Structure 1
């Protein structure tokens, strides 16, 4: 691991914040990148299952995301090829109603500029969900509009909805995503990974 990865792994900035959540958990940063990666997957924050396993997208959302990208687990988890950098490296916890809390801004403010400076070989950025899209694109607007406008950023950047099962209805309502965006995304992923 790089010095930066070790620093992030040791981070405890949000310990008191997490202790005050309904889950009352301790920080466990999930760090998954190396400087030579060609693809960046920028997401929101680890969920509870990822917090427990220490592996990003180690859940049904990850299965769907890998299907969208057209790559297998081994490729997805090869840190020399794919960097997985969420807006917060730790599981933020649940609120009293059991909903995911937003990623704490202090994580992004503390670490992201340094992480992105290390990722100088990127050829494709995949923005998963609204938090990642707002950070990397400024304030692009609603997720559906941002995803629908994929041609404006392709082939370097693709904005995606979150692959959560909660978005199954969104996928059914927006068949153009599977018909137009995913074939272009998979072709770009193949191109980037083949041209190493």
Structure 2
């Protein structure tokens, strides 16, 4: 699935997929100098689609995704699929879902063993081109701070929790472009957050599942 090179779509989309798959910008020109080089060879992971109406905009691949080349192929993906109300086959159907994180490559771990944030080189290099290549997208699921910052811009609140809590503002307020629904990351690390904010499951997930059903039906 790396870059989705050569898999359907028109020539321009296939060219973009090949370019993403071949990208080595975070290896060759690391932001901050050689000390910030990746601990591994880059492996861009994204699903760019000419037909999907939903874009899942995550943060960056984790280690298991890096190893398999399949986005959300981990426990976080299992929880996300539960939120969406879809099975694995539906989730990986590129006619139904596009998946393009803010950083295409696994960024490595910090000193505490947590995933580092998306590489700073990636979004400036690719994000506009990816969005322009998929004008049919009607719903963007902005997962986590970095995706929300890009897709909501100045409308993003100070914290991720505040942004997700004000989801109705973005849901009802988009007069141009696709709807944007901010979501917390489905990582197991956020289990405590989900327990403390029961409104997310009670209020947001029913709307999310209903919209997903409408758009992929």
Question: Normalising by the residue count of structure 1, what TM-score does the alignment of the two structures yield?
Answer: 0.93
Matched, 1:15 2:27: yes
Matched, 1:152 2:164: no
- The gaps in structure 1 that reach 5 residues or longer are none
In structure 2, what is the Cα distance between the partners aligned to 1:35 and 1:168?
34
- The gaps in structure 2 that reach 5 residues or longer are 1-5, 7-13, 173-178
Matched, 1:189 2:212: yes
- SS at the partner of 1:153? helix
Which residue matches 1:49?
Answer: 64
Q: CA deviation at 1:136?
A: 0.3
In structure 2, what is the Cα distance between the partners aligned to 1:154 and 1:77?
25
In structure 1, what is the Cα distance between the partners aligned to 2:135 and 2:194?
33
Q: CA deviation at 1:157?
A: 2.0
Which of structures 1 and 2 has the larger relative contact order (alpha carbons within 8 angstroms, sep 6+)? 1
Q: 1:125 aligns with which of 124, 129, 140?
A: 140
Matched, 1:162 2:185: yes
Q: CA deviation at 1:21?
A: 5.8
Q: Deviations over 1:21-74 (max 9, x none)?
A: 697211000121212211000000000110001000000000000100111111
In structure 1, what is the Cα distance between the partners aligned to 2:110 and 2:123?
20
In structure 2, what is the Cα distance between the partners aligned to 1:4 and 1:87?
16
Q: CA deviation at 1:13?
A: 0.9
Query: Bigger shift: 58-67 or 32-41?
Result: 32-41
The alignment yields a C-alpha RMSD, in angstroms, of 1.8
Kept in 1, the 8 Å contact 2:143–2:183? The answer is yes
Which residue matches 2:80?
Answer: 65
- CA gap 1:11/1:23 in 2 versus in 1, 3 angstroms: closer
1:83-122 aligned at under 5 Å gives the runs 83-122=98-137
